[in-house]
Structures are given as structure tokens and as C-alpha cells.
Amino acid sequence: MNVLVINCGSSSLKFQLINSESEQCIAKGLCERIGIDGSMITYSPAGGEKEVTVTPMADHTDAIRLVLEALTNEKTGVVKSLDEIGAVGHRVVHGGEKFSGSVVITDEVMAAVEECNDLAPLHNPANLIGINACKKLMPDTPMVGVFDTAFHQTMPEEAYMYGLPYEYYQKYKIRRYGFHGTSHSYVSKRAAEVLGVPYESLKTIVCHLGNGASVSAVKNGKCVDTSMGLTPLEGLIMGTRSGDIDPAIIEFIAHKENKSIDDVMSILNKKSGVLGLSDNLSSDFRDLEAGYNNGDENAIRTMKTYCYHVAKYIGAYTAAMNGVDVICFTAGIGENAPLVRRLTCGYLGYLGITLDEEANGKRGEDLVISTPDSATKVMVIPTNEELAIARETVRLVG
Ligand code: ADP
């Protein structure tokens, strides 16, 4: 079966068509600037030329229509008709406490996702628009929702509660939810597979280090803690997000700089993280790594602080699981930045970790980057959220 995987943002839409038998991506692409001047679609069929077309897209329905046209195009398409698309898997960011797994999308599910809009006001409405647009154009094709928060729903109460008045949990469901769940689940399972060890018997820490970044503790196949919270702002230092800070800093900056709470929140989300910490050198680790190697003090400070924070979370989650068997690095930075892995593991001598420098320098495949005698294994596992969404879709409607 071919599964269309859709990841819808407020003005963008990423898609992949995946063949569920071969698990290969047949075509993928991106619609950008939806509803804004200069909308464009990028379409890449596997083994074919990438095409970029600037064309108006008034809304997400227009965008999906263009995606379907590209996939079925006589010359460059990869399927003859829409009948060859068996199901659609949608990434949905926030499933609140309602969804602890993927679901077939029904009217009741749509209503329940809408109820979570408060918790993810930037993401969930866009995800719903994407689902509605697909339903309009492919009314008879089954659709599945795969939630970023679902994998983390197994966290125990002590991991998800904050030290706040309990009434806020009761009234507003303020608690830790965690994100990137599809990736944490995929990577932790894949690590067990690669090691040939039962998933249910492993203590794994997954460091998903991309533009957004989070760490999770997965014990015996279940998530027991994760670093992102009510929103994706908590936890690690990220590309432009601050991660953990003393909450009193918000009021302090607001007073000193005569700013509103909204202004400060925007600074914490968009101008902080490694971008802010490096005094605006870059949010991209390729630049930071180059700067670090050239002795740039902004890059050195940023790289050291970033890796120290990752190492602190690894320490915390080792405590949460009473040990750790394997530490996995994934996502843009985790997969591609050997320096980040080396500096982070530099703090983990107490876990008996020795890094294999040669393996750590390699790119691409699932790799063990610790030496054979390392007491805790360290791995690089490339994440594949689209494939995980396609698998979930087939599991539910296949
Ligand atoms: P997201 O999906 O959250 O946007 P990604 O997982 O794609 O993020 O990660 C993007 C980040 O990965 C970039 O900002 C960049 O810092 C980092 N990255 C990508 N390639 C490399 C590389 N070759 N070396 C170091 N960092 C890289």
C-alpha cells in the first residue's frame, strides 16, 4: 500500500509518499508560503529530478490539490491515479491526555484534537486544516492521526507533574506532555533491533537534537520521562529556544527592557537558544562547529554550554531509570555533529563510556560509536518520523 504522510504547519506542508511493503519513499516534497505571496511547491520523485514551481496557493486545500497533481502527473508522477494511495497519515502535534496512541480520524477525533488547540495554538489548528483539506479531496481514503505527544503518555505522575498549584492541572491540564514522540519511539525501537536485544528489556536515553531538541528516557519499551514540557520550550537549549531557565527571568527581562510577557516569550522562542547564546553568530551547528574549531569564543561558549546541558539530562535520566544501557543520538545535529557527541560523552566517564573516535566520525547509517568494552553503548540512529507515521497508518487501516 502507498501511504501519503502529511506534516502540516500554518503556512507550510511537508509530504512523503511511502510504499509500505518496501518502506521506501517514492516521492516527497514541501509546499511553502501557503496563503502568502510567492507560494511554491518543491517535488522530488525518488530517483528523479527535483522540481520547484512557484504557483499561487490560497489555502491548504490548494496545496494538497497541487501535491496530488504532482504525484499523479503523467510525466513526473509516481502513481497513475489517487486510487493508488491507500491511506493518509497525518502528524498531529498535541494529543493532550486524550491520545496515548495513533487513531483513525473520525469526526469525534477531530473534535477531540480541536479541544487540544489551547495547548498547541500554533500547531494543532494547522494540523486540523491539513486533515480537512485531505478529507475534501480524498473523501474515501482512510486517514490516521499520529501524535507527537502520544509516546510520552506512559510517563508516571511524578515525571509529568510540575510543582504548581494542583488546581492548574485540574482546571487546565498543565503538566509535562513532551514532543518528538514519534522520533523517540522509532529511534529507541531501532536501537534495540540493531543491537539484537528485546526492546522490553532495555534502558535507553534518546537525544533528539535538531532545531527543536529533546531527550527522553525509555525503560522497557515505555517512555518514563522527557525534557520538553507543556510546550516545546522546556528542556535542552535549542536552535532559537532557550530551554530550561529560571522562570523569574521572564519578569526580570520584562521590567528591565520594558517589554510585555508576549515580547519576552517571543525572545525565549525565537531569539534565544544557541542563536542568542552565541551572540547571534548562528543557530546552525555547521557554523558553530566551524567557529569552535577556529577558536571563536562565542562558538566555544555555545558549544560547551549546549553539550553540558545534554549531558545533565543524560545524568538525570540515568537516575530516573536506575541505570542506562544505551544512549542514542538522532536528528540533524545528533546525526551529523561528531563534535557535539564527543563533548557530551566527555561528561559521561562515570557511565564507563569510551567513544570510538573513528566510528564517531562516520555519517549516515545506524552506528555504535562506543568501543566494544564501553560499559554503556552509544549509538547514532538516523530518525525517520515519516516512516514511523506510515507504519502506524498501515497498522491501523492496512
Ligand atoms: P528540525 O527538523 O527540528 O528543523 P533537523 O533535525 O533537520 O531540525 O536539524 C536541523 C539542524 O541540524 C540544523 O539547524 C543544523 O544545526 C544541524 N545540522 C544539519 N547538518 C549538519 C551537519 N552536517 N553538521 C552539523 N550540524 C548539522
pLDDT value, residue 196: 97
Pocket test for ligand 1, best of 336, 344, 360 (most atoms within 8 A of CB): 336
Q: Does the structure show a pLDDT above 90 at 306?
A: yes
Q: Which of 218, 180, 101 is nearest to 383 (CA)?
A: 180
Atom of ligand 1 nearest to the CA of 213: 3
Q: CATH fold of 2-147, please?
A: Nucleotidyltransferase; domain 5 (3.30.420)
Nearest CA to ligand 1 atom 13: 284
Q: Does the structure show a pLDDT above 80 at 123?
A: yes
Q: Which residues are catalytic?
A: 148
Same fold flag, 2-147 and 198-380? yes
Q: How confident is the model at residue 109 (pLDDT cuts 50, 70, 90)?
A: very high
Q: Does the structure show a pLDDT above 90 at 364?
A: no
Backbone CA torsion sign across 23, 34, 77, 45: negative
Which residues, including other chains, have CB under 8 Å from residue 388's CB and lie 6 or more apart?
146, 182, 183, 185, 186
pLDDT value, residue 161: 98
pLDDT cut 90: percent of the chain above it: 96
Helix (H) or strand (E) holding 287: helix 285-293
How far is residue 211 from each of residues 17, 123, 197, measured CA to CA in Å?
A: 24, 16, 31
Atom of ligand 1 nearest to the CA of 239: 14
What's the gap in Å between 286 CA and the centre of ligand 1? Answer: 8
Determine the Cα–Cα distance for residues 94 and 265; give it in Å rounded to an integer. 20
Q: CATH fold of 198-380, please?
A: Nucleotidyltransferase; domain 5 (3.30.420)
Helices and strands counted in the chain (H then E): 15, 14
pLDDT value, residue 346: 97
pLDDT value, residue 10: 83
Q: Does the structure show a pLDDT above 80 at 142?
A: yes
| Angle in degrees, 0-180, between the axes of helices 124-137 and 60-72, rounded to the nearest 10 | 50
Q: How confident is the model at residue 370 (pLDDT cuts 50, 70, 90)?
A: very high
What's the gap in Å between 104 CA and the centre of ligand 1? Answer: 32
Q: What is the pLDDT of residues 65-104, one digit of tens each?
A: 999 999 999 999 999 999 999 999 999 999 999 999 999 9
Q: What is the pLDDT of residues 371-392, one digit of tens each?
A: 999 999 999 999 999 999 999 9
Q: Does the structure show a pLDDT above 90 at 288?
A: yes
Nearest CA to ligand 1 atom 27: 333
pLDDT value, residue 338: 97
Atom of ligand 1 nearest to the CA of 208: 6
Q: What is the pLDDT of residues 200-238, one digit of tens each?
A: 999 999 999 999 999 999 999 999 999 999 999 999 999
Average pLDDT for the chain: 96
Range 13-41 average pLDDT: 96
Residue 193, all three cell numbers: 533491533
Range 266-287 average pLDDT: 97
What's the gap in Å between 200 CA and the centre of ligand 1? Answer: 30
Ligand 1: residues within 6 Å at CB?
210-212, 239, 284-286, 289, 331-333, 336-337
Ranges of each domain in the chain: 2-147, 198-380
